[in-house]
Amino acid sequence: MNDRPDRILPSLTSPKDLRKLSIEQLERLASEIREAIVSQVARTGGHLAPNLGVVELTIALHYVFDFGHDRLLFDVGHQCYPHKLLTGRLPLLGELRTRKGMAGFPEPLESPYDLFRVGHAGTGISTAVGMARGDALNNESHDPKGRPDGRRVVTLIGDASIVNGVAMEGLNNAGTLKRQFLVVLNDNGMSISKPQGAVSQYFDRVRLSTLYGDFKKSAHRFLKHVPGGSVLEEAYHRMGEATKAWVAEDSWFERFGLVTVGPIDGHDLRTLIEFLSEARDFDRPMVLHVKTTKGKGYAFSESDSSTFHSPPAFSVDGELVNEGCRIELKKDGRSFTTAFGEAMVALMERDPRVVACTAAMPDGTGMNRVLERFPERSWDVGICESHALDMMAGLAKTGFKPFFAVYSTFLQRAFDQAFQEAALQGLPVRLCLDRAGLVGGDGAVHHGFCDISLLRTLPGACVMAAIDESSLLAALEFMREYEDGLSAIRYPRDNVSPCFSSQACPQFVLGCARILTEGTAQPDLAVLAFGTPAIAAVEAAQSLSTDYSVSVYDARFAKPVDRELLHDLVERGIPILTVEDHSVIGGFGGAVLEAASDMGLDTSRIRVHGMPDGWIMQDSRNDQLAEVGLDAAGIARMIRMVLAESPSSSTDAPRSENIHRKQRGAGTSV
């Protein structure tokens, strides 16, 4: 695309170049940006529909504001691709979501135009309020009379993030500002999937209504106080009674002290530029309500914006612009997410007391199958993780068996509720943590690297991990019957391994590990692996089998750990390597060391291996695992290192009966 001489996008050197272009050229540029994004996401995967929906809006924002000086803060961040292409990062697009290329979320290391790394919803308004207050304290904020060249602040929020509790808190505080502050609400009628709740229903009514009360009376009264309000008034007269671009003095946002304009057409560049030009110099907090179409520009993404919110790579049969083109998503195996969704349906069919929910992630967690099959016993609460966990606690209190399917990274937002309303009450709320560990292209903002350290602090909590589909099913069945407190099962954004598919999976028994390898009763080293790194550890052990005897255990539980097994291994002088797809700080390895110390055992031969104390940036999950040494080769290196550092194992007679008893206790078939 870039080598065509008539292309506008490759010729842009900075957002300032936009102001040299006509409206017609800007519209051509919008088409080029969409084409570039679709072409790249088809090859690598990425966030597609959210970015296609904000192309004109992003162009208009950069046309009107100077974000080299002014402040632009994103909410969620997965709608930033057009912004990145307009700020000099077209050369990075070809390596999207890899270490060499463009991150899929705002990334300050890439450009000064990105102010925060953003991957969680609801934060944009609050961080923008903070920057607005900071600029005021630094005497740098925009004042149309006293400091016309001061910094303006804009935050772009969309994909139903406005219903998030943090966004509500931000709105509540934004209304107290005494300066320019613009919230651009990208209202596309969607979240990641269909938005939920009363607020989304309010926006549905707004979009469908032809009037916001007596517009003429309120608009003329309001326009007298808006700098340059004549443009708004002219737009009103030009578009007539049928326009939806109202100044809404009775809007929901006005209850927070923010004047509201809109909704206006988020794909009409001329209108966007006019209204943003007015809002730029408004001296009070304002919400500009912009109506967009998620997936805009391509029939396949407009008609199924949930599927194409963040698709994997895909192939196209026919022309993309043709409504009849056929899109085939590339699949390379059966995912944990798919396995979980089917398992939950089966669980709910067997037990009418099982209920489930997700927070705006029905596709991402596999809950779409559950919502379709059991609409009365399952819920999507929108981007409201804290509410979701509290609601599950309420259901547990009334005798139901609640399961909350949530990404590990988003569980962080509900930790207070896990503590206060679930664990503290002794309620059996069940957490199903998708995307645990390293997540690949989404990078640092989405890694699930602290769920173990958070949850195992809670008294009575039970924390587990699955290594494959059969162990996931066994863990879910254990959780269904577990009534002693909060429980959690973690699994990665990956495909299930077929390594042990030919063997029957033993039931989960509280605090009992499962041996995965056949070896001698007195191995050279034992690997206690938590979660899917156990599969890589088995491969590592096999690769070293000519030199060393290595026993690999699927630990299954990070709380409680298998104290009997740990005691037996340490007493027999067998070096131990713990392995986990989680931070080494506060994770499974730490739990093993604490248990050994509590039992008065020698911990000098226990080594902990997991994610290091640092940020792992975007790349493929396999490359990330190799980077931190959690692939088979990396674990093999660690085994060699531990054995090289350890003195010879004890020569005491092996107590094989203890090992055999442990195998029976775990119900192993190995």
DSSP string, 466-517: -SSHHHHHHHHHHHHH--SS-EEEE--SSBPP-TTTTSPPPPP-TT--EE-S
- Please pick, among 34, 89, 291, 294, the residue that the annotation labels catalytic: 294
| Pairing of β 326-329 and β 314-317 | antiparallel
- Please pick, among 34, 244, 369, 413, the residue that the annotation labels catalytic: 413
Q: Is 539 a catalytic residue?
A: no
CA torsion sign for 575, 578, 584, 588 is negative
**Tokens (6 digits) for 612:** 């290091």
Helix (H, G, I), strand (E, B) or coil at 235: helix
Q: Is 224 a catalytic residue?
A: no
Question: Cα separation of 61 and 64, whole Å?
Answer: 5
- Matching residue, tokens 């309620």: 427
Question: Cα separation of 43 and 421, whole Å?
Answer: 44
Which amino acid would we find at residue 589? Answer: G
- Please pick, among 32, 107, 278, 385, the residue that the annotation labels catalytic: 385
Q: Within 13 Å, how many C-alpha atoms sit on residue 171's CB side?
A: 25
User: Can you say whether residue 391 is alpha, beta or left, with left for phi > 0 and alpha for psi between -120 and 50 degrees?
Assistant: alpha
- CA triple 446-452-456, angle to 5 deg: 145
Say which residues have a Cβ less than 8 Å from residue 205's Cβ, sequence separation at least 6: none
Question: Cα separation of 21 and 30, whole Å?
Answer: 12
Residue 623 burial by Cβ neighbours in a 10 Å radius (0-12, 13-18, 19+): middle
Q: Is 19 a catalytic residue?
A: no
Whether residue 560 has a cis bond before it, omega within 30° of 0: yes
- CA triple 568-572-573, angle to 5 deg: 120
User: Can you say whether residue 613 is alpha, beta or left, with left for phi > 0 and alpha for psi between -120 and 50 degrees?
Assistant: beta
Say which residues have a Cβ less than 8 Å from residue 130's Cβ, sequence separation at least 6: none
First and final C-alpha spacing in the chain: 56
Residue 662: alpha-carbon gap to chain centroid: 38
**Tokens (6 digits) for 323:** 């409504």
Catalytic residues: 294, 385, 413
